[in-house]
């Protein structure tokens, strides 16, 4: 902007630097899913995923195509979940609000299409970066920002109780998802060691509080793992956990991570569990695994590079 004084340009540059992320690599799946490995201004790397759906019809907008973005909220993650490549990498730093929002703009540019949905399910625990995440949610939702409906924006936590309680106070209708993965405390401790101090009974109280305040259904993510959390007792524990909550169970198929000890349950188990829950009035679906032929699990593309470089 040569029409403004040099001194003002310097102030602008210092106060409002424009540092969009740089794409290190893009992988495209046969189903159209694109995974981006991004370098931030300080050289840190994160992953972002764009998931197009051509044939779906969005009931609210009537649109025939959706574009969902899965964003990261931290560089690395401190939660150390046993099934997650990012968890094995450890925590580096929180992302700033602009670094979170930039991921959505970057995917919109790449597909040359409006983003319809955003899920905070990439690298990092959103509620451990609460302030930056909430600001990003507001920008995504704002009519002068990306104008994405609050109900189209989902924040997924591994169960940070204070974060859930705080999120309950937000006036917008943002969607809450919880990575549950087991309703048996000892098994959950093994899968998600850093939330062992956020026990299931207190977690459930926080979820009830959220539901009272937000009047929104909660989504539980549940990775069905062969011989670990897919037995009769596990099912009973899950049903008990759901009692008194308006919730929806999203069963996930484990993406293979090199060296991982857990394997996905059989397709038959997925069907049986879905039926059993529905019989008890709990809605359950299996999320289609998108981008399975690229480095699908969160953190895998980045780790592949770190191993190679």
Q: What is the 3-state secondary structure (H, E, C) of 125-151?
A: CHHHHHHHHHHHHHHHHCCCCCCCCHH
297 forms part of the interface with ligand SF4 (CB under 6 A):
no
Rounded Cα distance between 301 and 89, Å, is: 12
Q: Is the CB of 94 or the CB of 123 nearer to ligand SF4?
A: 123
Please, which residues have CB within 8 angstroms of residue 201's CB and are 6 or more apart in sequence?
none
Q: Is the CB of 116 or the CB of 157 nearer to ligand SF4?
A: 157
Decide: helix, strand or coil at residue 47: strand
Rounded Cα distance between 282 and 259, Å, is: 34
Site for ligand SF4 in 27-86 (CB under 6 A): 77, 79-81, 84, 86
Nearest approach, Cβ of residue 121 and ligand SF4 (Å): 7
Would residue 70 show up in a list of annotated catalytic residues for this protein?
no
- The residue number with the shortest CB distance to ligand SF4 is 87
Number of residues near ligand SF4 (by CB under 6 A): 12
Site for ligand SF4 in 103-132 (CB under 6 A): 123-125
Choosing from 52, 87, 159, 163, the residue that interacts with ligand SF4 (CB under 6 A) is: 87
Would residue 47 show up in a list of annotated catalytic residues for this protein?
yes
Upper half-sphere CA count for residue 42 (Cβ side, 13 Å)? 9
Site of tokens 């025939």: 64
- Which are the catalytic amino acids? 47, 298
Residues that bind ligand SF4 (CB under 6 A): 77, 79-81, 84, 86-87, 123-125, 158, 298
């Amino acid at each position: 902007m040569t029409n403004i004084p040099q001194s003002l340009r310097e102030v602008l540059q210092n106060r409002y630097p424009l540092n969009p992320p740089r794409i290190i690599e893009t992988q495209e799946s046969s189903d159209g899913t694109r995974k981006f490995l991004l370098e931030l201004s300080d050289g840190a790397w994160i992953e972002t995923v764009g998931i197009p759906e051509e044939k779906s019809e969005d009931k609210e907008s009537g649109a025939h195509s959706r574009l969902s973005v899965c964003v990261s909220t931290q560089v690395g993650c401190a939660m150390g979940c046993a099934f997650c490549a990012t968890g094995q990498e450890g925590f580096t730093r929180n992302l700033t609000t602009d670094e979170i929002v930039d991921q959505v703009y970057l995917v919109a540019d790449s597909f040359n299409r409006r983003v319809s949905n955003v899920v905070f399910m990439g690298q990092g625990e959103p509620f451990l970066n609460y302030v930056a995440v909430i600001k990003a949610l507001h920008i995504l939702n704002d009519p002068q920002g990306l104008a994405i409906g609050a109900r189209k924006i989902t924040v997924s936590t591994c169960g940070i109780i204070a974060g859930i309680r705080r999120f309950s106070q937000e006036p917008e209708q943002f969607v809450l998802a919880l990575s549950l993965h087991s309703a048996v405390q000892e098994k959950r401790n093994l899968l998600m060691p850093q939330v062992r101090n956020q026990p299931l009974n207190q977690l459930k109280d926080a979820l009830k509080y959220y539901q009272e305040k937000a009047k929104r259904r909660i989504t539980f993510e549940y990775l069905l793992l062969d011989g670990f959390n897919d037995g009769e007792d596990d099912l009973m524990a899950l049903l008990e956990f759901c009692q008194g909550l308006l919730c929806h169970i999203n069963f996930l198929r484990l993406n293979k991570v090199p060296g991982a000890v857990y394997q996905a349950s059989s397709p038959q188990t997925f069907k049986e569990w879905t039926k059993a829950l529905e019989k008890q009035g709990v809605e359950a679906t299996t999320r289609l695994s998108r981008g399975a032929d690229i480095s699908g699990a969160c953190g895998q593309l980045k780790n592949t590079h770190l191993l190679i470089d």
